[in-house]
Structure 1
Amino acid sequence: MRSARSLISKLKKDYPDFKFCKSNISHWSYTEKTIFYEDNIKHSDWILLHEISHAILNHKNYTRDIELLSKERDAWNFANTNLALKYGIQIDKDFIEDHIDTYRDWLHYKSSCPNCGLNGFEKNKGQYICPACGREWKVNEARNCNIKRTQLNKHH
């Protein structure tokens, strides 16, 4: 297991506009221009390359939940096809797919109608509607905690 620490000095030199900060959850903060990273977890170097990819790709907020999935895919692709080669790291493709799957599962759960179980679509940020039964619901922002769905109208 390679530690993220062994990459930090190289990344700081190569990307001086970004800050790096240890955290208990790895993520990119556009507003703070900071890559937060976990240092002592398995494959922390892969995750660090993924998070700095968000920074390099100038990922900001997202309007629709599906956009987040797209940004995650783009960041993993950039990390794997550009940064991993540059820093002599090989990222396991199954690891990437497993991480992208967590966002697919997250999106599937958020978009599942609490009334009939079919997938709805996001009509406004965090607000979904079911094309089958007409139920509308709101979801919280949850990415690192439990998703909460609140029904907005009665069953038709």
Structure 2
Amino acid sequence: MKPLADEVLKDSPLVMSGNSLPVSMAVTLAYNTSQHSTTQKTPAVVGKGWNPLLPVDYLKKTLLTINPTAKDFHEMWKRACDTAAICMPEAKEYDKQSWDKSHMEPNFKEGDKVLVSTLKFNNLKGPNKMRDPFVGPITIIKLIG
């Protein structure tokens, strides 16, 4: 079994009771059939060249005995996923517009005088409330980046 599956299973109550085989098989199957974000392939495809058959593959496509509640849940879940896929780019665009509206890149030039914030300086001595919030003015010698 993969090291990742061992980590997932080590605290499982089923493993502690001695019934770890079904759980370990399920975790291994889930690990081997999950798509990797970088390669866009599953570990089973990378290692063997094919994905193992899943229990859902054995179901008939025209199965008439599907639980109506499960079918409704599946349809609701699919609609929610489709809606989320549509909303994500819109939310990203909204966040970008919101950020761009209130932020602008500084346009410093060599020779400009600027104040430097001491907020992140951790080597200054004395109480924080007595420190100057800025030091300077400091002349810009060279622009980097």
Shorter-chain TM-score: what band? Answer: under 0.3
TM-score by length of 2: 0.26
The structure carrying a bigger helix percent of its residues is 2
The structure carrying a bigger strand percent of its residues is 1
Pick the structure with greater CA Rg.
2
TM-score by length of 1: 0.24
